[in-house]
Amino acid sequence: MLHVWGRISSINVRKVVWAAQELGLTLQRTDAGGQFGIVREAAYQRKNPNGLVPLMEDGEVLVWESNVIVRYLCAKHSPGNFYPTALPQRFAAEQWMDWQQTTFNPAGRVAFIQWIRTSAEQRNAELIAQSVAATDALLALLDAHLADHAFIGGENFGMADIPLGCEMHRWFGLPQPRPARPHLDRWYQSLLARPATRGVLDLPLS
């Protein structure tokens, strides 16, 4: 059985849970990280020396890093569909998955921390404004991409939609105004309609 360690409040754990549900996989999940601990234990760090979540165990295969786990699951269980076999399509999806982690997430993370994980009396409006400005520019870029594509990787749902969808869930869940972006909004609503997003994109932020 597929075993994943990580608390569901983690955006990175949510990616893996969503991917498994899309693929119809039976998943055992153990809460870890944050208030659940475990990640600093020697037994865990022998499997994931970073001491972070998620960690996936698939038989004798151990994989950490959330987007890599999504790639692994899609490559194993949905080659040619969620995981493109043609290199142009595969790496179009890969680049957006990397963009989510290296560009989009760092831009929006500050606002998320301030709104959700910082008490109101300690919240820094200037930091939020800087994060919003940085993220808005990226959302415009993503909206322009989706003007010509039904999904992140092309005309069909695929592996790249999962990390980007989780990032948008977090951003849209912040209690702040946002401009309408028709292509981005259309894409996100199509994700919410997918049964496999239950227990992931319908959960509150924490």
| Same-domain status, 22 and 91 | no
Task: Give the domain CATH number at 27.
Answer: 3.40.30.10
Query: Do the domain assignments include residue 204?
Result: no
Q: How far apart are the C-alpha atoms of 174 and 100, rounded to whole Å?
A: 18
What local confidence, expressed as pLDDT, does residue 1 receive?
A: 86
Where in 50-203 does DSSP place strands (E)? 55-58, 61-64
What local confidence, expressed as pLDDT, does residue 131 receive?
A: 98
Domain boundary among 29, 56, 77: 77
Query: Do the domain assignments include residue 158?
Result: yes
pLDDT tens per residue across span 154-183: 999 999 999 999 999 999 999 999 999 999
Model confidence at 49, pLDDT cuts 50, 70, 90, reads: very high
Reply yes or no: is the peptide bond before residue 175 cis, omega within 30 of 0: no
What local confidence, expressed as pLDDT, does residue 16 receive?
A: 98
| Same-domain status, 122 and 56 | no
pLDDT tens per residue across span 59-111: 999 999 999 999 999 999 999 999 999 999 999 999 999 999 999 999 999 99
Residues listed for the chain: 206
